[in-house]
Amino acid sequence: MPAYLAHRPAEEAAVAEFLDSASSTPSALLIEGDAGIGKTTLWMAASDRARRRGFRVLTTRAAEAESVLAYTALADLLTGVDPTVWSNLPGPQRAAVDHILSRTADSDAATDQRAVAAAFLSIVERLSDDIPLLLAIDDLPWLDPSSAYVIAYTARRLTGPVGLIATIRTEGVTGDAASSLELPRPDAVRRITLGPLSARALHQVVSDNVDRPLSRSAFRRIHQVSGGNPFYAIELARAFDENAAIELPSTLTEVVRVRLGGLDPETHGVLLAAASLATPTVERVVAASDTDRDRVIELLEAAEQQDIIAIEGHRIRFTHPLLAAGVYSDASPERRRSMHRRLAAVVAEPELRARHLALSATTGDPETLRALDDAAASAHARGAPAAAAELLNLAIELGGDTPQRRILLATHTFDAGDPARARALLEQAIADLEPGPLRAHTRHELAFVRFMNDGYLEGCQLLQRALDEDAPEGRLRVSILIASAYALYMTGRPEAAWRLGEEAVDHAEPLGDSGLLSQALGVRATLQFFGGGGMDEPGMQRALELEDHDAFIPTMLRPSVERALILACSGDLDASFEQLRAVERRCVDRGEEGELIFVSFYVALNRIWRADFVEAKRLAKDVTGLASQLGGEFPAMLSQLLKAWLAVYDGAEDEARMAIADAIDACKVSGTAWHEDQANTALGLLEVSLGNYEAAVNTLEPLMSRHAPTSTELSAAAYLPDAVEALVEAGRVTEAETFVADLERNGHRLDRAWMLAMGARCRALVKAAHGDLKGAVAAAEQAMTHHDRLQMRFERARTQLVLGTVQARSRQREASASLHEALAEFEQLGTPLWAARARARLPGGADAPRKRRELTAVELRVAELAASGMTNRDVAEALSLSAKTVEATLARAYRKLGIRSRAELGRVMASPTNQSNGR
């Protein structure tokens, strides 16, 4: 540590604690303070200490410059890293790293910013495999936006021994620069704010850096004016003349101006070239100067001797950012524009050339606007949407404000992670445009912004207006039809969705665009399947053959994803799981978080349907993490929905009800009717699990009222088995029979194992309700046969419970084995409510009369009233007891009866003749 840090024991301890933590787990240390207070010195000292402790250290020093290239900081961090670290990354990630380091985008396919982020995360993980890694960033607020996005993305996902240390200037910067820098554990981020040095410490720092003696009175004045700021004090000491009766500079800006005031115009011109570049080099400064190379180098060396700059190899670095800012701000606007014109002529990168041209202009001449457009396209191709947006914004500010630029700016802004601004830009463009293809395109773009963040309701309306008012044709019309068809289905209008899917295929066929036709065919086949029309195998196969796996297509519109969902609903959960996992890996490789959450939701739902609840919980946790990172109603709703399903199976009633309510609220906001139906289906299952059959009927009534006789695929009709059981138990058997018939008929028509198994199980319940126990046993046995084609353990156990129950009522010897098998499966799956139901059906558990005789008179009366539906408070009032006495009495009764819930109490207290229908 530098000597002066001996006088900063708290900061030194913070660094030591940070490195201890980072050696085993993700940790961050943010060093904040005023300019010149010593942030960079502490940052450098911490980095040196990390190296001595065996850390691998990657560093970057951001520059306060207006002409910065996208991914400059990221390229700095990767400087010196062995290329073999990323040589075997997935293709998109490897290409992304190559584009960053070469600063080009020379391949046919554009690099996605998310692929850059995924690649950097992979590199960080690999580098930290064997030794701890430190990412050291000086001047975090001045990171180029593209690098800032990637570093924030990486920080949120760190897992191993990785530390992140950064400096943050607290004045002159708007907003909280570190607000987006989050680690998996919030408490792993520590901030320290550097305050002024004591007089003693400041004296030591000044003595170490200024080679001249100072009297005690002189130093007192320096300490007083500098306020303990070391950079300020050093510069004051350099400028101090004890024999001159002059006032010391009273601000840092003034002291910098005094420091630079002695420079001759020739030196100032050379330094202005360096200050105008984000990463100045000797070669570029020479090229931008109007003097010969030897003279430029002589001037640079003189500035280095004055400790204004440091020359490190071919790179030039100002010894303090304030000196660079001072050189630049002291130049007149005309001189700055002239320098940027010269730099535009010597830099090779399109982005830098365009930025320098823009900074040299007062209005947008055609050459400058064209250069900015080309540079934005280049930045986009290199996976830097934030840089592309900045370049287009420069063009607009210079007078090139056209609808096309504003729409493109919105697209890049959305890709850069700012959906609110993208939405505002697109809405303004729509308001300014006349009806026609461009406005239709803009509505289409805005619809996808709304889909990804708010849901489908508003997006649907935008797409409909695009079709009705703006009359798009060709590829644009097909794209809008495809998106509209999907959105209409998700908002609960399957018939209208199907019609648009058909129209999309009709319009796509003659266009010769295989990728677009693939999407249209996939959407049509999917809507046909979920609408009960069966699988359009030739259409889906053609869609899969035409699918473009390299182009960015929203995951929900990819035929490979649609096919995987169809497989799940057909009962082939394992094949569906493998296909969805492949898509998920592709999303991870490309860093497509917005797409990843959609796929991960269905991967988790697949495991729930399979009753692999341990794996489902792990996957649901990943979805929750993604939802938190993405923000917005739609991602949060997906997370809540998975949480609700898992809580229902866990038997956690309160947690389930809360999660279901939250999910339904989010669904209503986003207009996603399909997901709202899923939430109500989960609530229906919860009520059935608890034996609350009337409540289950009330919950599922809206779904039953919209039931289409041909639409009984799992995705649309998962609620039907619970609806049938609830209706039968509520005495509404005739209504239940209609749904049973639909399941059976469609199951045979489509050869769908899930429909056949559920239809047969529900038929067993109906027959048992009519007293046809022989028919009920036969139907339940048939259902078990159909389960052999299904990978749904929980549903199979439910069917086995029905079989065991009707066998017991028929006094068949096989009943005990069936019930024991069902109980064992429920217990293994971790579904306590259903395990309790199976346990109650067993011979010992079903001997209700004997168990009731073990109760005292008070226990029996309390149990009877509680079983009738009365609350503990109601029972207490009816029997003139305290609520606490009722609670204790019920607890004793539960122990004697061998039960754990009100639902079980109701069954045990009912007469044997009333325990009827094969539940």
Q: What is the largest CA-CA distance in the chain?
A: 116
CA distance 629 to 515: 31
Q: Classify each residue of 150-186 as buried b or exposed e, where b means 16 or more C-beta atoms within 10 Å of its C-beta.
A: bbbbbbbbbebbbbbbbbbbbeeeeeebbeebbbeee
Which is higher by pLDDT, 676 or 458? 676
Q: Are 655 and 619 in contact (CB under 8 A)?
A: no
Least confident of 153-167, 666-680, 763-777, 818-832: 666-680
Average pLDDT over residues 345-357: 88
What is the Cα 371 distance to its own chain's centre?
Answer: 34
Mean per-residue pLDDT, 768-780: 94
Residue 559 tokens, joined = 């035929």
In angstroms, the Cα distances linking 787 to 756, 759, 761 are 9, 11, 10
Alpha-carbon Rg for the chain, nearest whole angstrom, is 35
Question: Number of helices (H) and strands (E), helices first, in the chain?
Answer: 47, 7
- Percent pLDDT > 90 in the chain is 47
List of residues 6+ apart from 211 with CB closer than 8 A: none
Cα(526)–Cα(505) distance, integer angstroms:
13
Read off the pLDDT band of 16 (50, 70, 90).
very high
Q: How confident is the model at residue 187 (pLDDT cuts 50, 70, 90)?
A: confident
Q: Distance between CA atoms of 736 and 755, rounded to whole angstroms?
A: 15
Q: Which residues contact 708 (CB under 8 A, 6 or more apart)?
A: 494, 531, 532
Instruction: Lowest mean pLDDT of 181-185, 353-357, 358-362, name the range.
Output: 181-185
Predicted pLDDT of residue 469: 85
pLDDT band for 243, please (50, 70, 90 cuts).
very low
Residue 255, burial from CB neighbour count under 10 angstroms (0-12, 13-18, 19+): buried
Tell me if 853 sits within 8 A of 880, measured CB to CB: no
Phi, psi (degrees; rounded to nearest 5) at 434? -85, 160
CATH superfamily of 3-193: P-loop containing nucleotide triphosphate hydrolases (3.40.50.300)
Which residue from 148, 177, 143 is spatially nearest to 68, judged by alpha carbons?
A: 143
Average pLDDT over every residue of 885-909: 79
C-beta separation of 267 from 300 below 8 A: no
CB 703 within 8 A of CB 723: yes
> Is the separation of the CB atoms in 138 and 40 below 8 Å?
yes
CA 519 – CA 325 distance, rounded (Å): 53
pLDDT at 783: 97
Burial tier of 284 (Cβ tally within 10 Å: 0-12, 13-18, 19+): buried
Helices (H), 712-831: 714-717, 720-729, 733-750, 753-769, 773-787, 793-809, 814-829
Beta-carbon contacts of residue 118 (< 8 Å; ≥ 6 apart): 92, 93, 96, 588, 589, 590, 591
pLDDT band at 918 (very low <50, low <70, confident <90, very high): very low
Q: Given the structure tokens 């029309």, which residue do they identify?
A: 533
Q: Average of pLDDT values for 119-147? A: 92
Q: Report the SS3 class of residue 284.
A: helix
- With a cut of 80, say whether residue 594 has pLDDT above it: no
- Do 803 and 918 form a contact (C-beta atoms < 8 A)? no
User: What are the beta bridge partners of residue 382?
Assistant: 111
Helix (H) or strand (E) holding 241: none
Contact at 8 Å (CB) between 369 and 395? Answer: yes
Structure tokens at 848: 């209700």
Higher local confidence (pLDDT), 360 or 456: 360
Q: Which residue has the tokens 């000797």?
A: 282
Q: Are 327 and 268 in contact (CB under 8 A)?
A: yes
- Predicted confidence (pLDDT) at residue 753 exceeds the cutoff of 90: yes
Structure tokens given for 359: 């900074």
Confidence grade of residue 162 (pLDDT, cut at 50, 70, 90):
very high
More confident: 805 or 235: 805
- Per DSSP, the three-state class of 788 is coil
The most confident of 66-75, 196-205, 559-568, by mean pLDDT: 559-568
Residue 910 DSSP label: S
pLDDT for residue 719 is more than 70: yes
How far apart are alpha carbons 411 and 390 in whole angstroms? 12
User: What percentage of the chain exceeds 70 in pLDDT?
Assistant: 92
Q: Please, are residues 590 and 548 in contact by the beta-carbon 8 Å criterion? A: no
**Rounded alpha-carbon distances, angstroms, from residue 257 to 280, 302, 322, 684, 723:** 21, 18, 10, 74, 80
Check residue 846 and give its pLDDT.
47
- Residue 492 backbone class (left: φ over 0; alpha: ψ -120 to 50; beta: rest): left
Q: Distance (Å, rounded) from C-alpha 848 to C-alpha 910?
A: 8
Record the tokens describing residue 123, joined without a space. Answer: 């590199």
Whether pLDDT at 245 is above 50: no
Which of 6-20, 220-234, 453-467, 596-610 reaches the highest mean pLDDT? 596-610
DSSP letter string over 287-333? HHSSS-HHHHHHHHHHHHHTTSEEEETTEEEESSHHHHHHHHHHS-H
Strands 309-312 and 189-193: unpaired
pLDDT of residue 240: 66
Burial 13-40 (b: 16+ CB within 10 A, else e): ebbeebbebbbebbbbbbbbbbbbbbbb
Token pair of 557 as six digits: 């519109």
Amino acid in the structure at residue 576 = S
Q: What residues does each domain of the chain span? A: 3-193, 199-250
Residue-wise pLDDT tens digits, 600-650: 999 999 999 999 999 999 999 988 888 887 777 888 899 999 999 999 999
Q: Crossing angle, helix 573-590 and helix 593-610, to 10 degrees? A: 160
Max avg pLDDT among 208-217, 305-314, 679-688, 868-877: 679-688
Taking residues 147-156, report their average pLDDT: 89
Tokens of 630: 């993405």
Nearest to 601 by CA among 555, 668, 661: 555
Instruction: Decide which of 84 and 321 is more confident.
Output: 84
Q: How does the average pLDDT of the chain come out, rounded?
A: 86
Residue 99: what pLDDT?
79
What SS3 state is found at 340? Answer: helix
* DSSP string of 718-729, one letter each residue: TTHHHHHHHHHH
pLDDT, tens only, 811-870 = 888 888 999 999 999 999 999 999 988 988 886 554 556 666 677 777 888 888 888 778
Whether pLDDT at 163 is above 80:
yes
Residue 767 clears pLDDT 50, i.e. is over it: yes
- 678, containing H or E segment: helix 673-690
Question: CB–CB of 866/905 below 8 Å?
Answer: yes
End-to-end distance of the chain based on CA atoms, in angstroms? 74
The candidate with the shortest Cα–Cα distance to 633, out of 665, 590, 674, is 665
By 3-state DSSP, what share of the chain in percent is helix, strand and coil, each rounded to 5?
70, 5, 25
Q: For residue 917, what pLDDT is reported? A: 44
Q: Which amino acid is at 538?
A: P
Burial 404-431 (b: 16+ CB within 10 A, else e): ebbbbbbbbbbbbbbbeebbebbbebbe
Task: State both tokens at 76.
Answer: 């700095």
Residue 176 is predicted with a pLDDT of 64
Count CB atoms within 10 A of the CB of residue 215.
Answer: 10
pLDDT at position 301 over 60:
yes
Question: Residue 444: pLDDT above 80?
Answer: yes
| Token code pair at residue 134 | 């430190």
Greatest mean pLDDT among 197-201, 281-285, 546-550: 281-285
The mean pLDDT of 735-740, rounded to a whole number, is: 96
Inter-residue contact 226 to 202 (CB < 8 Å) = yes
